[in-house]
Structure 1
Amino acid sequence: MLRPDLSGRTALVTGSATGVGRELVFALADRGASTAVHYRTSDEAAAATAETARERGAPDATTVQADVADPDDVEAMFEAVEADLGTVDVLVNNVGPFAPDHWEDLSYEEWNTVLQANVNGTYLCCKRALPGMRDQSWGRIVNVGYASAEKGLMSPKNAPYFIAKQGVLMFTRMLAADTRDDGITANAVSPYVVENSDEFPDDLPRGRPASFEDIAQAVLFFLDEDSGYISGENVEVDGGWLPESV
């Protein structure tokens, strides 16, 4: 795997108590970053992730609780990370709940929760991270999307998730343009089915889901010092998947 040197950097990965986010924390810790493990309700899992991050090479690791769709929570989260670890140099917006039911069967609260966490959570965290990154003329933002979202993927099931991930990609490209003179890059990594998914379709590309390492490889590419000219891009980690509906 790529081994960018993240010594002296502070990384915040949202939704990182378990799953993909946890593995991204470990990948960053392996490369010397101090890491902030964000959670909303999984406090014990977050503490365990932070402990493992320290064992794997993070100079320090902390846990932070927040609802990323709440502006006050996001402000408190960044203040806590800055107090414990310093300015956030690397932000990975990994939080991304979905709603697999038919859109007509979703309550307004279910629909809105998906949109708020995916789109507004990404917006709020990016907005709060930018001043510190601009002050030091360096920053890396990676937003987690969904494979084929930019191709207009849509389905009556999980509709708010598809809508939200298209919004995340649009926001990422706007952010890249808006920060092009600030030493900051903003990119997206968009998986399809991941190894910890609840269900696996019969036609998985290459006969398997994406591994955590596959996703980490794409994220680490964007974090590398030599990738500083690459911004506004989206890497689909999907094994070459192309849905029939697109």
Structure 2
Amino acid sequence: MSGTILITGGGSRRGIGRATALRFAALGYAVGVLDLDADAAAETARAASGAGSPAVFAAHADVTDQTSVAAAVRTAEATLPPVTVLANIAGITSPTRFADITLAEWERVFAVNVRGTFLVTQAVLPGMRARGYGRVVNLSSVSAQRGGGVFGASHYSASKAAILGLTRSLARELDKEGITVNAVAPSMVDTDITGGALTEDRKAELAGTTLVGRLATAADVAGVIAFLASPDAAYLTGATIDVNGGSHLH
């Protein structure tokens, strides 16, 4: 089933959001891209159009700000066909050790990762509920399950664990409404989010901890998001899909 996918954090050139936009464009979805960087969002939208999307939309949106989110979602809904899939991908991380985390840094990580997911989902859900159909996919992390140890530190792990709790509770709350809510928990993905903070030797070390012998790509994660939006995943809700190459088995 196609329709429209709305993606937050879709501006990064090597990010999961852009890979997701291109994957869904190839599947025939209209694609809406929200990002703090309006120019980057527009670039992703143009790429999605070139990849086969029948309609695209891009806008600046600060996912931590309710007014910004409401305006962006409202305009996207007026521009594109009804939103059938929401991918909450916007997020930030930091390797700061616990004793050195400032309150401002702690709150910033939670604002983007948790408040952002809450605000955008709350803005999109009324339309999905009115139509009796929707797919919400939230981006968590292996750090939520193993307590960090890859790149993000305790505040990142805690925020991504909150995403898992939100995913499960919302899946229960939307019982029998035709809307599924699932989470994807990648391990280290070779994207721009680490900002070049990892050396090639460290990347090779992390790749060696997987059973498949490499780091994940953004396309690996986008493929799982596409699966969760497909009819094949209609019986999955409240689930967490691990995308970690076997680095964390539980």
* Structure 1 and Structure 2 fold alike (TM over 0.5): yes
What pairs up with 1:1-246 in 2 under 5 angstroms?
Answer: 5-6=1-2, 9-18=3-12, 19-40=15-36, 42-151=37-146, 153-154=147-148, 158-196=153-191, 197=194, 198=196, 199=198, 200=203, 202-204=205-207, 205=210, 206-242=212-248
Runs of 4+ aligned residues of structure 1 deviating over 6 Å after TM superposition are none
Distance 2:180 2:85 in 1: 10
Instruction: Give the paired residue count.
Output: 236
* Counterpart residue type for residue 224 of structure 1: S
Deviates more, 1:201-210 or 1:56-65: 201-210
Deviation at 1:154, TM superposition (A): 4.7
Deviation at 1:229, TM superposition (A): 1.6
TM-score relative to the length of structure 1: 0.90
RMSD: 1.9
Change in 2 beyond 3 A, CA 1:132/1:80: same
Give SS of 2:236's match: coil
* Counterpart residue type for residue 23 of structure 1: A
Distance 2:218 2:179 in 1: 25
| Stretches of structure 2 lacking an aligned partner (at least 5 in a row) | none
Deviation at 1:201, TM superposition (A): 5.3
Deviations 1:161-185 (A, max 9, x none): 1000000000000011111211000
Distance 1:184 1:71 in 2: 23
TM-score relative to the length of structure 2: 0.89
Deviation at 1:44, TM superposition (A): 2.3
Deviations 1:163-219 (A, max 9, x none): 000000000000111112110000011111112253225042122100222112211
Deviation at 1:66, TM superposition (A): 1.2
| Stretches of structure 1 lacking an aligned partner (at least 5 in a row) | none
Deviation at 1:157, TM superposition (A): 6.3
Change in 2 beyond 3 A, CA 1:154/1:202: closer
Deviation at 1:38, TM superposition (A): 1.0
* Counterpart residue type for residue 238 of structure 1: N
